[in-house]
Structure 1
Amino acid sequence: MVASARADIFKVSQLAGPLILTNLLYVAIATIDLIMLGMLSPLELAAGGLAIGIFNQFRTMGTGVVTATGNLVSDAIGKAKLAQITPLFNASMLIGTFLGLLFAAAMFAIEPFLRFIGTSEAIANLTTQYLTVVALGLLPCFWFQSVRHFSVGLKRPGPLMLITGVSVVLTIVLNYGLIFGQFGLPQLGFVGVAAATCIVLYLSFLLFILFAKRDDVLSPYLTIKFWQTDREALSKTWKMGMPIGATYGLEAGFFTVLALFVATLGVNALAAHNVVSQMVYIVFMVSAGISSACSIYISEANAAGDFHHAKRIGNLGIICGAVVMSVFALIYLFIPEFVLLPFLSAEELQNSDVVVIAIELLFIAAFLQFFDAWQNIGLGILRGLGDVKSTLMLSLIGYWCIGLPGAWLFQEFFSLGILGVWYALMLGLAVTALSEIWLFNHRANRLLEPTLLKEQNA
């Protein structure tokens, strides 16, 4: 048993390692955007952070839908049905195109909604300017994610790290150049951050396609004629992807609604919230890599009927998530100023209100991130068992029926302000995470019952 566990840790680490590094590099793009915005003013940091949060809301939902591609490809491999792989990839690209156009239209028309919920005119105007530009990057973003999950399903994530690393460098150069008019680029100021992100998303996708076409494992299944799919592949991707996208959307929407709530509490509160939320988002990407790797291997084990193996991988993922989060918790608790330093300008570091609020939020985040990691890993391991509908319901209950009313209650009746919002955030994540962990083990045990009966009768 110990040897099997070690082998599983090794296999999952081999796949999760590149995915984690890729996730961290990918989120570095948004982090660099936030750092660059911090060089401007508290108002532009607040508005830009809000815009990034809204963009991430749409990006997360679309990414969630095409995430199903990885599990479906892995399932096809487990069942030795390799002819299904190309139609599944093409279906993912088609669905990503549809969602990219739909979500971009929603971002173009968001200003009236921001005004309706009480966002100040200055923040609403700047947020809308940012979103109008960055919305053009949703299409290549979803295409990139389709190729990514297709490659992960085939256990070939290698080029992702190199491509995303190049994207990070381009983001730094383009951000600085377009904000301040350097390197022969036009000076666009605040909107330059959005323009840089959009350009990098297109280049990242094109680079990934070029690398994938040169890969001996990926290339045979790739085609630029992604409209050549079939109803079965479209149906499978949509039926599995929609609950995943909705689940991701409920979680991201929970964060987004809370950010909109914080936006009504003032510029200092919103600036501190944006900074700490971005740090939480960075660490979230570590658990996302663990979740994806576990999910792929559980899908393969589930397809082969090896439920002992599937359960062991899931529980190892939960333990690994707790170990990693312990490291970040210690950093938050003992050197919070070090965490905040890259995100705040000299002006904001002198603003004691922003710094004090951010340090208080980091204290909560030290504990919150255990539940954030577990709910993320819980989604992946349940998805590996083919259960995507239960996670949707658990997310709805945890975030929207418990967490969101809790934020209103803590803020209005207990006068906890932004701290109440974050306590409610932790409550919603805790309910969702613990429910998913219990459900995974319950589902795995049910699948194991026939095997255990045979072993007892033998």
Structure 2
Amino acid sequence: MTTRLPYRTHARGLLLLGLPLVGGHLAQMAIGLTDAAMIGRYGVAELAGLTLATTAFAVIFLFGSGFAWAVTPMIAQYDAEGNHTMIRRATRMSLWLSIGVFLLAMPLMWFSAPALEALGQAPQVARDAQTYLRVAGFGLLPALGVMVFKSYLGALEHTRMVFWITVLAALANALANYMLIFGNFGAPELGIRGAAVASLVSHGVSFAGCALYARVQLPQYPLWQRFWRPDVELLRDVFSLGLPIGLTTLAEVGLFGASAILIGLFGPVPLAAHGIGLQITAATFMIHLGLANAATIRAGQARGRRDAVFLRRDARTVFALSIAAVVVTVALFLLVPEALVGIFLSPDDPQREAILAIGVALLMVAAAFQLVDALQVVALGLLRGLQDTRGPMIIAAVSYWGLGLPAGWLLGLHGGFGTVGVWFGLTIGLGAAAVLLLLRFWRRALPALDAQQAARSLALGGIPA
């Protein structure tokens, strides 16, 4: 089947899918910002513990989410093929793998303080982090379940409800934080433990909302019916597709974590500027991540229909949309950098000017950083839609750790460029990944789908498109 639609139709379809996903990602970011802001007002020591704990939680969560993201292209393909049974089976096994990650991770979070101290963290900070993780760790199970449901609902094009459920969870998190951290509205004052309970509440609300919506709106997929029955074939398929996705995500998260360690060697002011720069670029990155998620879904649908023409036009459109967003954000970075960085700084902070100067310089680098980051994540989304995950995993590891981090180390620590040099290194790593992933998609993955489309056309007695 060959689908030739106007590019405006492709753009409309991508935006209808992608914009709610962008909003959902931004709402998810708001949860983390709310936690940090409220605990920061409660106490600096508790903020340090929270930062350490949420970093550890995020590493485990993002790795485990690979098994959730794996079902997006699978379900999109099965839906295009009209195979409802496989949709149910793949989703169930993704939930099984999420439960497995939780069971393996919970002991690590429960006894995290000794490990954190062994990594050089202050004893009190490590104990505070463990206090948080012993409560919030139970939220890993619903959090991973939410990721499975988001992938399931997104692949079936129910993205708007995913956005509203995430917004509801963000509001529940803010209210629970306000009550339990400070002891407002008659609630006990629990400090960092209160933030952990709020996180647990937020994940619980999200999971309940997603599960209820799926049950009501998609009754043709009885996910919980005979949930206990194993499905070895689909378990293996989801695992083999999801493990490289999780490891790819870890490679990128690890790159930014290692860059923070390098910048920390320059002192607290550069590290603060780095943190602010990442917050700003992370917010704009959500636009490209949402478009990449939409591209994954539509690539999966195209794979199910063996429709290379549709995918080629869709890919051109999503890259154009992403580049258009880059133009807008880069203009902001170049025209009003002081205003953007200043949002995160108190007017009477004695170190404001020093942080502002470094932050503005970082946003200049981010002008190039944004383009390559957008291209690599969209290319990655398209490849995932075609269920190509092992090659991109190797590309990510080599680009981020073989090029990006060494370049940041050389430019920042030995080239005299400091924090800006480390960001140049990040740009080099992401740029290499963008080039290699783009080549893999256009030169290998898409021609392979062309061949499948031609073979199908010939088998049906037609002429290959």
TM-score by length of 2: 0.88
* 2:15 counterpart residue number: 13
Taking a change above 3 Å as real, the CA distance of residues 345 and 126 of structure 1, as seen in their structure-2 partners, is farther
Does structure 2 retain, via aligned residues, the 8 Å contact 1:251–1:395?
A: yes
Report the AA paired with residue 314 of structure 2: I
User: Could you tell me how far apart the structure 2 residues matched to 1:440 and 1:91 are?
Assistant: 28
User: Could you tell me how far apart the structure 1 residues matched to 2:292 and 2:342 are?
Assistant: 29
User: Could you tell me how far apart the structure 1 residues matched to 2:85 and 2:403 are?
Assistant: 44
Report the AA paired with residue 71 of structure 2: T
* 1:89 counterpart residue number: 91
Taking a change above 3 Å as real, the CA distance of residues 78 and 27 of structure 1, as seen in their structure-2 partners, is same
Structure 1 residues 13-33: Cα deviation after superposition (integer angstroms, max 9, x where no partner)? 111122111121122111222
1:43 Cα deviation from its structure 2 partner: 6.2
Taking a change above 3 Å as real, the CA distance of residues 331 and 308 of structure 1, as seen in their structure-2 partners, is same
Does structure 1 retain, via aligned residues, the 8 Å contact 2:139–2:204?
A: yes
> What do you get for the CA RMSD once the two structures are aligned?
2.9
1:67 Cα deviation from its structure 2 partner: 0.5
User: Could you tell me how far apart the structure 2 residues matched to 1:86 and 1:450 are?
Assistant: 26
Give runs of aligned pairs for residues 123-138 of structure 1, distance below 5 A. 126-138=128-140
User: Could you tell me how far apart the structure 2 residues matched to 1:174 and 1:400 are?
Assistant: 39
* 1:200 counterpart residue number: 202
Deviates more, 1:53-62 or 1:33-42: 33-42
1:72 Cα deviation from its structure 2 partner: 0.9
TM-score by length of 1: 0.90
Whether 1:393 aligns to 2:401 is no
Q: 2:185 aligns with which of 183, 186, 191?
A: 183
Whether 1:321 aligns to 2:296 is no
User: Could you tell me how far apart the structure 1 residues matched to 2:224 and 2:433 are?
Assistant: 39
Structure 1 residues 332-390: Cα deviation after superposition (integer angstroms, max 9, x where no partner)? 23223443455445664764333333333233223212222221111110112221111
User: Could you tell me how far apart the structure 2 residues matched to 1:347 and 1:457 are?
Assistant: 68
* 1:168 counterpart residue number: 170
Report the AA paired with residue 301 of structure 1: A
1:130 Cα deviation from its structure 2 partner: 4.1
Deviates more, 1:433-442 or 1:282-291: 282-291
Taking a change above 3 Å as real, the CA distance of residues 148 and 451 of structure 1, as seen in their structure-2 partners, is closer
Structure 1 residues 266-314: Cα deviation after superposition (integer angstroms, max 9, x where no partner)? 3333333233223322222221211111111111112211112112212
User: Could you tell me how far apart the structure 2 residues matched to 1:206 and 1:384 are?
Assistant: 27
Report the AA paired with residue 228 of structure 2: W
Taking a change above 3 Å as real, the CA distance of residues 371 and 21 of structure 1, as seen in their structure-2 partners, is same
Three-state SS of the structure 1 residue aligned to 2:221 is helix
Report the AA paired with residue 199 of structure 1: V
Whether 1:267 aligns to 2:268 is yes
Q: How many residues align?
A: 457
Structure 1 residues 26-73: Cα deviation after superposition (integer angstroms, max 9, x where no partner)? 221112223334545666656544543443222222112211111111
Does structure 1 retain, via aligned residues, the 8 Å contact 2:78–2:84?
A: yes
Does structure 1 retain, via aligned residues, the 8 Å contact 2:411–2:425?
A: yes
Structure 1 residues 383-410: Cα deviation after superposition (integer angstroms, max 9, x where no partner)? 1222111110110111011112222222
Does structure 1 retain, via aligned residues, the 8 Å contact 2:172–2:201?
A: no
1:163 Cα deviation from its structure 2 partner: 1.1
Taking a change above 3 Å as real, the CA distance of residues 40 and 267 of structure 1, as seen in their structure-2 partners, is farther
1:90 Cα deviation from its structure 2 partner: 0.9
User: Could you tell me how far apart the structure 2 residues matched to 1:123 and 1:353 are?
Assistant: 27
Does structure 2 retain, via aligned residues, the 8 Å contact 1:403–1:424?
A: yes
User: Could you tell me how far apart the structure 1 residues matched to 2:180 and 2:348 are?
Assistant: 22
User: Could you tell me how far apart the structure 1 residues matched to 2:99 and 2:400 are?
Assistant: 29
Report the AA paired with residue 243 of structure 2: M
User: Could you tell me how far apart the structure 2 residues matched to 1:280 and 1:226 are?
Assistant: 41
Which blocks of at least 5 consecutive residues in structure 1 are unaligned? none
User: Could you tell me how far apart the structure 2 residues matched to 1:408 and 1:287 are?
Assistant: 27
* 1:233 counterpart residue number: 234
Three-state SS of the structure 2 residue aligned to 1:150 is helix
Does structure 2 retain, via aligned residues, the 8 Å contact 1:108–1:132?
A: yes
Three-state SS of the structure 2 residue aligned to 1:220 is coil
Deviates more, 1:368-377 or 1:128-137: 128-137
User: Could you tell me how far apart the structure 2 residues matched to 1:83 and 1:457 are?
Assistant: 30
Give runs of aligned pairs for residues 214-363 of structure 1, distance below 5 A. 214-215=216-217, 217=218, 220-223=221-224, 225-345=226-346, 348=349, 351-363=352-364
